[in-house]
Chains A and B, each alone.
Chain A
Amino acid sequence: MQQQNQQQATPQQSTGLPQVKGPEMNDRDRINDVLAMIKYMNVAYNVAVNEASNDTLYQMQMNILTNLHQAQRDVYNAMAAKGWYKTDPADMQKIQQTYQQFSNYQTQFPYS
């Protein structure tokens, strides 16, 4: 699982975080922990859903799983909006290369 949400020095952001960070948890640490927790529960519920013995249990846990996915997205979006979750764009040339490589595999497609 990729973790791209490490704390970085982002002085241009006015996020309400202390300029000099101490050992105590700040808002960013807390929301980051909530995100990690939800992501863990997503994986755990997925295993449970796969093994539910009856449809009622399956539906109940599937419903919870859907809520958790939505919550994970809401938390991610909030963090991204605050500049707390930076992603770095992939290299254009590597995308092109990958496209080319996997396009060539079309010779292996069994379905017309």
Chain B
Amino acid sequence: MQLSTKDLNYLKDELSWELLAFKKCHHYAQESQDPQIKQLIDQVGRMHQQHYQQILTHLDPHATMAAPPQAQAGVNPSLSQ
């Protein structure tokens, strides 16, 4: 897939945000006392790591650009809807 310079710059930024996000969530989840908060932050962290992997797929020169994995919608289905 052809990427513009601008696309690449955004994707790099996004990877950096996602990386920091899931490292932070992992750290916070370990520190949290309330099991509900712990679980919620952990789920948010997992979502960010999935996003990271998803974005990375689009930068892989050897990837067959078939169907990139769809990340799950929402982090806490029990709380939404």
In whole angstroms, what is the CA distance A38 to B41 when docked?
Answer: 11
Size class of the A contact interface (CB-based, 8 Å): 20 to 34
| Contact call B65/A31, Cβ cutoff below 8 A | no
What is the predominant secondary structure among interface residues of chain A facing chain B?
Answer: helix
- Chain A residues, CB < 8 A from B65: 56
Contact of B74 (CB < 8 Å), options: A60, A74, A78: A74
Flag if A78 contacts B40 (CB, 8 Å). Answer: yes
Bits for B33-52, please: 1 = Cβ < 8 Å to A, else 0.
11011001100100100010
**Chain A residues with a Cβ under 8 A of chain B:** 15-16, 25-27, 30-31, 33-34, 37-38, 41, 44-45, 48, 51-54, 56-57, 60-61, 63-64, 66-67, 70-71, 73-75, 77-78
Starting from the known contacts A16-B34, A30-B37, A64-B54, 17 additional A-B residue pairs (CB-CB under 8 Å) come to A27-B34, A31-B41, A37-B21, A51-B6, A52-B7, A52-B10, A53-B2, A53-B4, A53-B6, A53-B7, A60-B68, A61-B10, A64-B51, A66-B73, A73-B80, A74-B79, A77-B79
